[in-house]
A and B are shown apart, each in its own frame.
Chain A
């Protein structure tokens, strides 16, 4: 059964306290472990928020900020929350610069104009990636909330730390986002999901 080659996480450091101790002592291995541990998470978040444009720059910027500021991390939240907060800020800042902050609820035909590949999106939509397409149409903050909760497993309180909001606000947004997604899911009739409590 054992197959060490397919382990996904760095096995030398997974304990957050040990990782932080190494970072505070300036251990290069600790920085490497931090990078290896959080690269998949940061990359996924950046892809979801930025799609494929500027993802690599955003990842790099995130880790630069993490490395530069890790000595100031006081442990008030989990390390993963802190890293996600930095990544989220980097991506949202990038979106603001691009002017893509507002949600777009255009139909697919309307999206051809902003450089998106209609054929590719249609193919995506017809395959098993409807969610990706629906997420792209959401407000970035809603998208972040949904992703951090359902993919990264962060609690509402932790997402509140990431976004600088109250837990209740996050819960409400999460609820609205789910209803919104459900309402637009292909096999669910719009009127069924729209008025749910």
Chain B
């Protein structure tokens, strides 16, 4: 058998299937030439890993500072595109983008292009909907939702009219020109003809710090600090900082960053929805009055005054509850919830209740969905539970997943070392040797190098072949002064 360079590298890189790796190693043990080249390949792979160096904090900060304006622009572009997509459909967006000026372009070409497109869209909408449904510019004294409620019982043309009226009046109220919108996020040029058509309501608005926006009489809001959405909902933002993601007559969504909002929602059109998101919960309503409170970083509180709201806790497989009038529901943040689960898991392990611990670990992995801060640790714990209950194959698979994953170095090291011990306990000595070999290649300065080297010596105990000699030499060179290592070396001298 020859030992092609590619195979030596695959072996050194840990990419070779175990069965093939054993064959190649068997050959290498009796071939001095291959040993030398494998050692070189292994050293090369070890050094290759060192090419991935961390970025120093100063450079990171400089880079992010330089990139931040582009992030703002790119985000605004994406939100604009998403809004257009929502309004016109995917193909129309592709066509529009052919001529729509990009952010950052200035000058008369931008204004001409915008004016042309807004004029064209206005003309199309006017032609489709007819002149009798286009509302006047003036903001109605009465809130728009009343039309929506009437429209539900009337002809469909009335429903269309309601949608148009909704779209016209609220946006200027929620986002007066004094709002601290980031540059480039203004949906349209001031005075553009499209303002008269209602289309701006579909444009994305990303205004943080509503608390700084002073509602005016022109806003359509009933009292200062309140805002009227396109769907007719009245939002009290006096103590809140929120982002309005969508503001359509049938689909409104806001992200509550901080503080407390109180929302009063009229009966929405069929298929309509209003969603308030926080980092912990998604609150979806059909027509009610409620408050969402995100003043504590560890949870969100939902209080319902009228009707019913559905609250979905953030995280896969977490609870969905209906909160009725007069009820208050607290939803823990995902981090707080996961932290609590880990505590319960450890308690169950300590008490020897492995079935409960197994359920907690599975639940953590389900909810965290691969994103949790301690997913790798929980997987290692789960592996321990599985091996203690005799499910060694499953445990080995889990350890391998962690070892080959993108988790922190200590978790990958632990997984590989525990996997080797699992093989040892099951008396799969070749697999154990291969795993320790892999460990030493991947973590030459790892936490378990001494154990790995000592086991390599023990596994070739008394042998006189080059690999046994190399194992003894490595252990002696690095840990020969330590009593346990010296004892192993003494016990495993070549016969």
Contacts and interface: CB of A to CB of B under 8 A. Distances in A.
Interface in B74-88: 74-82
Contacts of A43: 53, 55, 59
A6 B4 contact: no
B411 to A, nearest CB: 8
Contact of B37 (A39, A67, A68, A192): A192
A4 interface: yes
Contacts of A39: 55, 60, 63
A2 B339 CA distance: 11
A9 B33 CA distance: 40
A52 to B, nearest CB: 11
B373 interface: yes
Contacts of A8: 406, 408-409
A14 B2 CA distance: 42
Contacts of B62: 56
A129 to B, nearest CB: 6
B204 A64 contact: no
B371 A14 contact: yes
Nearest to B64: A35
B5 A175 contact: yes
Given A4-B374, A7-B408, A9-B406, A25 B63 contact: no
B377 A32 contact: no
A60 B60 CA distance: 10
Given A12-B371, A28-B75, A151 B51 contact: yes
Nearest to B378: A2
Contacts of B70: 63-64, 67-68
A82 interface: no
A6 B410 contact: yes
Contacts of A154: none
B47 interface: yes
Interface string A1-40: 1111011110111110000000111111001100100011
A7 B368 CA distance: 15
A64 B70 CA distance: 7
A147 interface: yes
Interface stretch (A83-91, A93-101, A102-110, A182-190): A182-190
B183 interface: no
Contacts of B370: 14-15
B344 interface: no
B27 to A, nearest CB: 14
A70 interface: yes
B79 A32 contact: no
A81 interface: no
Interface string B40-75: 110111011111111100011011101100111011
A169 interface: no
A128 interface: yes
Nearest to B334: A12
B74 A67 contact: yes
Contact of B78 (A35, A71, A128, A174): A71
Nearest to B36: A188
A14 B4 contact: no
Q: Could you tell me the dominant secondary structure of chain A's interface residues? A: helix
> Contact residue range for chain B?
35 or more
Contacts of B39: 187
Interface string B312-339: 0000000000000000000000000000
A15 B371 contact: yes
A119 B66 CA distance: 35
Interface string A123-160: 00000111110000000000000110011000000000
Contacts of A192: 33, 36-37
A152 to B, nearest CB: 8
A70 B74 contact: yes
Contacts of A128: 47, 50
B141 to A, nearest CB: 35
Contacts of A130: 43, 47
B45 A150 contact: yes
Contacts of B410: 1, 3, 6
Given A40-B52, A193-B37, A26 B5 contact: no
Given A67-B71, A175-B6, A182-B37, A1 B77 contact: no
B248 to A, nearest CB: 15
A193 B52 CA distance: 27
B412 to A, nearest CB: 10
A26 B63 CA distance: 20
Contacts of B380: 1
A132 B50 CA distance: 9
Contacts of A129: 47, 50
Contact of B4 (A1, A2, A150, A196): A196
A182 B5 CA distance: 8
Contact of A44 (B52, B75, B76): B52
Nearest to B411: A1
Contacts of A11: 371-373
B41 A182 contact: yes
A151 B78 contact: no
Contact of A35 (B67, B369, B407): B67
Contacts of A47: 51, 53
Contacts of A14: 370-371, 406
Given A43-B53, A47-B51, A56-B63, 8 more contacts: A11-B371, A15-B370, A26-B80, A56-B62, A70-B78, A146-B48, A178-B5, A178-B6
The 8 closest A-B pairs by CB, nearest first: A26-B78, A26-B79, A131-B47, A26-B75, A67-B74, A185-B40, A31-B71, A150-B48
5 contacts: A24-B81, A60-B66, A70-B78, A151-B52, A187-B36
